[in-house]
Structure 1
Amino acid sequence: MKIYKIISLLFVALLLTVSACDTIVEEEFLKNTTDVAGVELIATQSTPGGNKITLDLVTPGINGYWDYNLGKALTDKVTFIYPIPGTATFTFTGTLGAEFFSKTIDVQIDQLDNALDQDWYDLVSEDTAAGKTWVFDGGPNPDGRMWWFMSAPGSTDNAWSLWWNAGGDCCPPGDAAGKMHFDLDGAANFTHYGDASSSASELGSFVLDVANQTLTVSGAKMLGSDAGNADGVYSIVELTEDKMVLYLSNSETYGTGWTFVFVPE
């Protein structure tokens, strides 16, 4: 009988010990503060139809960022000068609390009444709708000059560190006699021509990031894409009315840098 009582006491003590070790967890669940329809976006222009635009998220309790096509702003409110006439669609992406969402707002731009950054005019000309055509500053046959060459990877500081003068010495790209055209006729249009003929064209788009000095092309090949990347982000080493030097920091094909030197057609 005594042994039975002792065993019972030990069993109760064990239960109490295990219960004391259990962690009390208070579960918290994220909740939406509103729905997508309740998210209010406002766009204002400094002048009616003008190209200086302020985008504002006015609904409290929402976090996210603006994609204004020229870049992204990690803030509820952003002001910028837009370079493209016509209807522009801007996107806010954020969280309602328990889920992510995206919502757009359209703005009609009828006039470029605020001057663009000079880089835009250098790239597409003062006549932004007509645009501008660029070609290699050399070639199309090997000519000893540096206009399409392998360079050290990693940084624009290495853009002129010649590793192999492919275009100048022996091996120009397949589109060495081609050209590329940039314009802002209703959109940021990029057109690649494999040769001098307008029939061998491929239409894409581009983004000029003035603040970070990058040029991104998509939907069509960059002129000289035999360097390893058909499209993508290129660092701007130099951009003037008469010359454009782009740098690919890491070729997908060669694992090196690559430098492109262009002049207006």
Structure 2
Amino acid sequence: MKINKIFSLLMASVTLLFCACQPIVDSESLSNTTDVAGVELVATQSTPGGNKITLQMATPGITGYWDYNLGRAFTDKIEFVYPIPGTATFTFTGTLGKEFFTKTVDVQVDVLDNPLDQDWYDLVSEDTAAGKTWVFDGGPSPDGKKWWYMSPPNDAASYTTAWWNAAGDCCPPVDAAGSMTFDLNGAANFTYVSGPGAAPQVGSFVLDVANQTLQVNNANILGAEEPRGNPNGLYQIISLTDTEMILYVPNNGGGTGWTWVFKAQ
């Protein structure tokens, strides 16, 4: 009898030990609440063809964010004034539940009937389709002025400090006599010319008014030769007026800051 009890206790212990070693499986799993086709994106304009736009993701249970080309909005609904005439494509990225998706909506902007932030006019002029051309505020030969120079890193407030006044003292960039033009003729267009008679290089740009940055894509700004420029094309705006634009990079390929001073041509 005792042997039977001991055997029973032993078997019970083995059973408990076996159960304790089994992984706990969560029977719950993520599932999609709809498919991509079921996600409703709504775009409205305050006036027909106007540039004040509201974007809304109208499907319940979907979370994500809008990329509205001027920035990102981590919300279902956003209203903004768009600066570029033509067909604009806006993207919503979100999750259906167990998988991510992207979906776009197009908006046709025919007229800029709502005024833009002043920074846009300062950068591209009041005639946004024609645009504005910018050149270095100095040179193209060394002239003692500060218009392309090494600055302390990671400190935009010290941009006026020239650790090395490269262009002013001895060594202007190879494109010191060049130009760059920003316009909104159907898109945010950026045109770089390295010097008189040189072939233009065309790219695009993003002006982030809220964060005071200028992103240049598929082209260089003047004086972006390595290691002074920024391979990512992102520059911090120190000053932007109708006649002056000062850009700064906090940490370039050479491990320092760098400052550019431009003037409207």
Q: How does the TM-score come out when normalised to structure 1?
A: 0.94
Once the 2 structures are TM-superposed, how far is the Cα of residue 20 of structure 1 from its aligned partner? 5.1
- 1:52-81, CA deviations, whole angstroms, 9 ceiling, x for partnerless residues? 000001000000000010111000000000
Separation in 1, partners of 2:33, 2:243: 53
Task: Specify the alignment match of 2:125 in structure 1.
Answer: 125
Separation in 1, partners of 2:171, 2:57: 52
Once the 2 structures are TM-superposed, how far is the Cα of residue 13 of structure 1 from its aligned partner? 4.1
Separation in 2, partners of 1:154, 1:27: 50
The DSSP-based 3-state class of the residue aligned with 2:53 is: strand
Does the Cα contact within 8 Å between 1:225 and 1:231 map onto a contact in 2? no
Segments ≥4 residues shifted beyond 6 Å: none
Equivalent runs, 1:109-124 vs 2, <5 Å: 109-124=109-124
Counterpart amino acid of residue 175 in structure 1: D
Does the Cα contact within 8 Å between 1:219 and 1:231 map onto a contact in 2? no
Q: 1:230 to 1:167 in 2, by over 3 A?
A: farther
Equivalent runs, 1:9-158 vs 2, <5 Å: 9=8, 11-19=10-18, 21-22=20-21, 24-158=24-158
Once the 2 structures are TM-superposed, how far is the Cα of residue 19 of structure 1 from its aligned partner? 3.5
Separation in 2, partners of 1:2, 1:116: 92
Consecutive unaligned residues in structure 1, runs of 5 or more: none
The DSSP-based 3-state class of the residue aligned with 2:157 is: helix
Q: How does the TM-score come out when normalised to structure 2?
A: 0.94
- 1:178-201, CA deviations, whole angstroms, 9 ceiling, x for partnerless residues? 11000000000001111122x421
Counterpart amino acid of residue 52 in structure 2: K
- 1:128-158, CA deviations, whole angstroms, 9 ceiling, x for partnerless residues? 0000000000111111110000101113212
Once the 2 structures are TM-superposed, how far is the Cα of residue 21 of structure 1 from its aligned partner? 2.4
Q: Percent identity?
A: 65
Separation in 1, partners of 2:16, 2:98: 38
Once the 2 structures are TM-superposed, how far is the Cα of residue 26 of structure 1 from its aligned partner? 2.2
Once the 2 structures are TM-superposed, how far is the Cα of residue 51 of structure 1 from its aligned partner? 0.3
